[in-house]
Amino acid sequence: MYVAVKGGERAIDNAHAWLAEERRGDAAVDELTLDQIREQLALTVARVMAEGSLYDPDLAALAIKQARGDLIEAVFLVRAYRTTLPRFGASEPVDTGEMACDRRISATFKDAPGGQVLGPTFDYTHRLLDFKLAADGEAPATPQGEAGDATAPHITAFLGDEGLIQDEPESDATPPDLTREPMELPADRPLRLQALTRADEGFLLGLAYSTQRGYARNHAFVGELRIGAVVVEMEIPELGFAIELGEITLTECETVNQFTGSKTEPPQFTRGYGLVFGQTERKAISMALVDRALRWKELGEDDQGAPAQDEEFVLMHADNIQATGFLEHIKLPHYVDFQSELELVRKLRRAAQRDETPPEEAAE
Amino acid sequence: MAEAAEQTERNRWMSLLAKAPAEEVTQRWEALGGDPEFTVLRAPEVGGVMVRGRAGATGAPFNLGEMTVTRCSVRLSCGTVGHAYVQGRDKGHARRAALADALMQTDRAGEVRAALLAPIEALLDGRRQARAARAAATKVDFFTMARGED
């Protein structure tokens, strides 16, 4: 029997009013502005843009404020907003070779043309809490160097010139879009990359780490990691030519992995690829490792039964909004479902009790 | 040929207007004397553009995620049509960019270039150079230590 339940409106309204008050915190403390969040919590903003799959730092800052810093809740808000936007079109593929790099390092070539540029990195810090920041947050003057005009070439291109690394054949194929059509498996690489770039950072990090520990080990080197700004171009239908729509910050990671080869082809390195909105280095490296692990079929490798090789396992569980939606719904009222379970378990217990009763007693 | 050059010119100023910070456009617009007479062909509309990347930087395209873009189209009283697609969600920015695109096709082009486009270009160049100079200061100079066995 279906029982409609109503009620709780007043409690819900009051809960939301209290939520707003708690969000604000102690009113004697200055309120956070969106500018402060965008400028001073930039890596949080980057993460919300990447997993929310929408590049807009102001919106991400608003979502973070509204969600009281709960990042998955903030991603949820951004995703929900995204669905209300009309789609004007798709950009030309961005040219990361033309990136204005803040950071660009290679773990494989010390003397890479263009040099090793560390950028604003946490690397080589001592990870000691800086109590000066608690007192005042004034930044020291930043040293400046002589900037050349040249953009840095991709390091994998040097290996490619010698045929030492597997080629990435260019194409103009229209990629599948999981925001328009439900994801279908098996997924081709463009669909996998879309799912991975918006995936939960923690989930990808765990999977990537598992490949390093031996679950589908493919021995990755970071051939190159770069962070910087690229322009986004789109062909404008009413003009008939492409213009730049804006500039976005991206993090790109190219891994160089161990060999493949066959009777017809000599051994060569293989690749994994990560490209993520914002300054999101851990995520981009994780994405490249998981991308590489998922390529086992096309590279003719063995299925080792490792989680990172299992396309369905990875792609169907990487989205934190899907995951949290299903996970959190079980806390919402299930009174009627539960009533029927309760009935059932009582019935089973009655039956079990009858079976356990000795026959002579039952006869009485 | 002349058409191609004109298109390149227009592409350049539209791209600049798209990347310009909205508040910068607003401020400089007032200095230009504000909106000329115009009719709206397409009211400012906020939407998304799917940004694409390429697998391995050079391979097959894939969908990276969307960015917010606002577009607008206007017609000046002289009949010149202007379009804009600008980054972000600022409708005023899109309207002013569309008006600037239209004015750049009229005899007020020089004025718009001097008061709006040139300062914005300088601002963006300055910002880019400031970051590039900071990045350059973090470039690693390796030196090899003398090896013991040699």
- Quote the minimal CA–CA distance from B87 to chain A in Å: 5
CA-based angle A127:A130:A131, to the nearest 5? 150
What does the buried/exposed string (b/e) look like for A195-229 if buried means 16 or more CB atoms within 10 Å of the residue's CB? bbbbbbbebbbebbebbeeebbbbebebbbbbbbb
Are B82 and B99 in contact by the 8 Å Cβ rule? The answer is: yes
- The dihedral formed by the CA atoms of A70, A71, A76 and A79, expressed in degrees to the nearest 10: 150
Q: How far apart are CA A195 and CA A203, in angstroms?
A: 12
Q: Is B69 on the interface with A (CB under 8 A)?
A: yes
Are B63 and A188 in contact by the 8 Å Cβ rule? The answer is: no
Nearest CA to B89 out of B48, B125, B121, B61 is that of B48
pLDDT value of position A364: 47
pLDDT value of position A110: 84
* B82-140 per-position pLDDT tens digit: 999 999 999 999 999 999 999 999 999 999 999 999 999 999 999 999 999 999 999 99
pLDDT value of position A146: 87
Q: Is A265 on the interface with B (CB under 8 A)?
A: no
Q: Which residue of B has its CA nearest to A244?
A: B15
Q: Is B42 on the interface with A (CB under 8 A)?
A: no
CB–CB contacts below 8 A, A to B: 234
Query: Which stretch of B1-5, B18-22, B46-50 has the lowest confidence by average pLDDT?
Result: B1-5
Q: Are B68 and A170 in contact (CB < 8 Å)?
A: no
Q: Is A91 on the interface with B (CB under 8 A)?
A: yes
Q: What residues of chain B lie within 8 A of the CB of A151, using their CB?
A: none
What confidence tier does B146 reach under pLDDT thresholds 50, 70, 90? low
Average pLDDT for A141-159: 84
* A235-260 per-position pLDDT tens digit: 998 889 999 999 999 999 999 998 77
Please determine, for residue A5, whether its predicted confidence score (pLDDT) is greater than 90.
no
Query: Taking the domains of chain A in order of start, what are their residue ranges?
Result: 9-82, 96-119+152-167+183-324
Average pLDDT for A47-76: 98
pLDDT value of position A286: 98
Would the CA dihedral through B32, B36, B42, B45 be positive or negative?
positive
Nearest CA to A288 out of A314, A255, A264 is that of A255
Q: Tokens representing B123?
A: 């601002």
pLDDT value of position A64: 98
Q: Return the amino acid letter for A184.
A: E
Are A122 and A281 in contact by the 8 Å Cβ rule? The answer is: no
Is this complex's ipTM strictly greater than 0.95?
A: no
pLDDT value of position A4: 58
Nearest CA to A297 out of A185, A203, A178 is that of A185
Q: What percent of chain B has pLDDT over 90?
A: 83
Q: What residues of chain B lie within 8 A of the CB of A117, using their CB?
A: 135-136, 138-140
* A290-337 per-position pLDDT tens digit: 999 999 998 888 899 999 999 999 999 999 999 999 999 999 888 888
Please determine, for residue A359, whether its predicted confidence score (pLDDT) is greater than 90.
no
pLDDT value of position B98: 97
User: Across all residues in chain B, what is the average pLDDT?
Assistant: 92
Q: How far apart are CA A172 and CA A296, in angstroms?
A: 24
- Quote the minimal CA–CA distance from A110 to chain B in Å: 8
pLDDT value of position A139: 82
pLDDT value of position A237: 87
pLDDT value of position A115: 87
pLDDT value of position A169: 86
Are A206 and A72 in contact by the 8 Å Cβ rule? The answer is: no
Q: Are A273 and B57 in contact (CB < 8 Å)?
A: yes
User: Across all residues in chain A, what is the average pLDDT?
Assistant: 91
- Quote the minimal CA–CA distance from B102 to chain A in Å: 13
Please determine, for residue B81, whether its predicted confidence score (pLDDT) is greater than 60.
yes
What confidence tier does A3 reach under pLDDT thresholds 50, 70, 90? low
pLDDT value of position B23: 93
pLDDT value of position A219: 85
Average pLDDT for B45-72: 97
Say what angle helices B118-137 and B2-19 make with each other, to 10 degrees: 70
- Give me the residues of A, 183-242, that contact B with CB < 8 A: 189-191, 193-194, 197-198, 229, 231-232, 234, 236, 238-239, 241-242
Please determine, for residue A162, whether its predicted confidence score (pLDDT) is greater than 90.
no
What confidence tier does A358 reach under pLDDT thresholds 50, 70, 90? low
Q: Is B41 on the interface with A (CB under 8 A)?
A: no
- What's A117's DSSP letter? B
* A257-269 per-position pLDDT tens digit: 987 777 777 888 9
